[in-house]
Amino acid sequence: MLASASPRRRELLLELGVSFEISVSGVDEDGDFRGRKPADVAMELALLKARDVGSKVNDGLILGADTVIDYGGELLGKPESPRHAFEMLARLSGKDHLVITGVSLFEPSSGTSWTRFEATRVRMRAASGPEIEAYVESGEPMDKAGSYAIQGLGESLVDSIEGCYNNVVGLPLCLVWELLGQSGFKALAASPCRLPSGQPCPHSAAP
């Protein structure tokens, strides 16, 4: 079961070739996480989401995920307003940041969980103020960590990435596949996580 309403995560999870249902968690993602490491926050929220949905069922596996931006140790989440989105993108322009997704598998019947995170380094190109403003006006940034979608119009703001591409979209299939293997769930013989070019994700590894 996927504990997320994200259409991006749903589409990615379908690539695993497993059947799943969707149940949205009620976890508040807008807590005060000042002073916390972004990776720790992402993993904590992923586990909380999985447990929240798992409290309503008795069997199966629950998948929770949460994506944040690590900008020099500072956590950046989703923008609160178009102005906030503009300010966030202006800060990221021409610089590197880490996209971190916490992923948690929770088994309600045993109370066992498997939680880790994936990190991808993204370098943004130096975009002008009018370019950023035009992108914000498209509306795409408003529900995205870091205020951009690499799989959409936001691709034009990205210079390069190092690591798992799907992680930047919102769900690192290489890590999900690995955690499924650790839990004993048999999915595919090989990870389906791939780059836009069709090449295997460099972070894919056997569970």
The catalytic site residues sit at 66
For the record, the structure tokens of 20 come out as 């799943």
44: Cα separation from own chain's centroid: 13
Residues whose CB falls within 8 Å of the CB of residue 20, separated by 6 or more in sequence, listed in order: 1, 2, 13, 63
Neighbours of 66 (CB within 10 A): 27
Question: 123 near 160, Cβ under 8 Å?
Answer: yes
Q: How far is CA 36 from CA 103, 115, 137, 147, in A?
A: 17, 17, 31, 21
How long, in residues, is the chain? 207
